[in-house]
């Protein structure tokens, strides 16, 4: 047996051990409702889970996670701009029952973000209720007072990969948002949104079924 073949065999064994160890560590680090950490949240529902590795999570007492919610790896959930900030109301971020939040997504609340029941997102979805302002042309954008607007996403909706939900957005129930869309505004139930900025691509009519464009 040559040195090269020995190194390859050792590398394969080491790789297998690392993968098994990582899988076990992620399993152990998954947060369920019976964990001590779950008690920090405003609400942490029955049979809910925060899969590991978790993203940035802080001000848990302002975060509500509904029953049977599955939050994927590397998801960031925050309230406010930093840990221990006192917020004006609770919860700031509320996720309803039986939702699935895709890996790498960010839900960044400052005022009010409400997700209904049975919502699913693809990976890397970004939802926020605060945005930078730019009215003062002499001040750096990052130092100007931000603007806020409550966000509400209707039950049964699906947000595709890399969707961005901006402050002040209200989505009706069973809404589909196409991958990569940037959404701001108020939209009715049973529509398909897409584009930058997002527009209604299809709507549902009880008389005619699914039709292109917005309802007339």
Q: What angle do CA 86, 59, 80 make, to 5 degrees?
A: 60
The answer on 59 and 84 residing in a single domain is yes
Number of domains in the chain: 2
The answer on 97 and 53 residing in a single domain is yes
Could you tell me the residue range of the domain that residue 5 belongs to?
A: 1-30
Query: pLDDT digit string (tens) for 157-192?
Result: 999 999 999 999 999 999 999 999 999 999 999 999
The answer on 205 and 110 residing in a single domain is yes
The answer on 196 and 151 residing in a single domain is yes
The answer on 172 and 66 residing in a single domain is yes
Query: pLDDT digit string (tens) for 85-103?
Result: 999 899 999 999 999 999 9
The answer on 160 and 111 residing in a single domain is yes
d(CA 134, CA 152): 25
Model confidence at 11: pLDDT above 70: yes
Res. 15 pLDDT band, cuts 50 70 90 = confident
The answer on 96 and 12 residing in a single domain is no
The answer on 190 and 111 residing in a single domain is yes
The answer on 21 and 35 residing in a single domain is no
The answer on 88 and 58 residing in a single domain is yes
Catalytic (active site) residue 190: no
Q: What share of the chain is helix, strand, coil (3-state, %, to 5)?
A: 15, 30, 50
Candidate list 106, 114, 132, 190, residue with the active-site label: 132
Are the beta carbons of 126 and 96 closer than 8 angstroms?
no
Structure tokens at 177: 């948002």
Instruction: Please tell me the predicted confidence (pLDDT) of residue 4.
Output: 65
Lowest-confidence segment of 10-24, 65-79, 95-109 by average pLDDT? 10-24
The answer on 43 and 56 residing in a single domain is yes
Whole-model pTM?
Answer: 0.92
Are the beta carbons of 212 and 196 closer than 8 angstroms?
no
The answer on 54 and 160 residing in a single domain is yes
């Amino acid at each position: 047996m040559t040195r090269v073949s020995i190194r390859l065999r050792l590398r394969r064994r080491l790789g297998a051990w690392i993968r098994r160890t990582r899988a076990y560590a992620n399993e152990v680090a998954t947060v369920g409702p019976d964990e001590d950490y779950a008690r920090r949240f405003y609400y942490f529902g029955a049979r809910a889970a925060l899969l590991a590795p978790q993203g940035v999570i802080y001000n848990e007492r302002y975060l509500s996670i509904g029953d049977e919610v599955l939050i994927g790896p590397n998801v960031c959930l925050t309230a406010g701009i930093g840990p221990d900030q006192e917020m004006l109301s609770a919860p700031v971020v509320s996720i309803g029952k039986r939702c699935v939040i895709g890996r790498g997504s960010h839900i960044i609340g400052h005022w009010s973000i409400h997700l209904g029941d049975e919502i699913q997102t693809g990976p890397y979805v970004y939802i926020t209720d605060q945005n930078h302002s730019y009215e003062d042309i002499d001040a750096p954008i990052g130092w100007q007072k931000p603007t806020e607007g409550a966000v509400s996403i209707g039950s049964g909706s699906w947000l595709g990969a890399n969707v961005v939900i901006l402050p002040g957005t209200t989505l009706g129930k069973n809404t589909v948002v196409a991958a990569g869309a940037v959404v701001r505004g108020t939209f009715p139930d049973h529509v398909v949104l897409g584009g930058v900025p997002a527009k209604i691509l299809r709507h549902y009519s009880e008389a005619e079924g699914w039709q292109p464009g917005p309802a007339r």
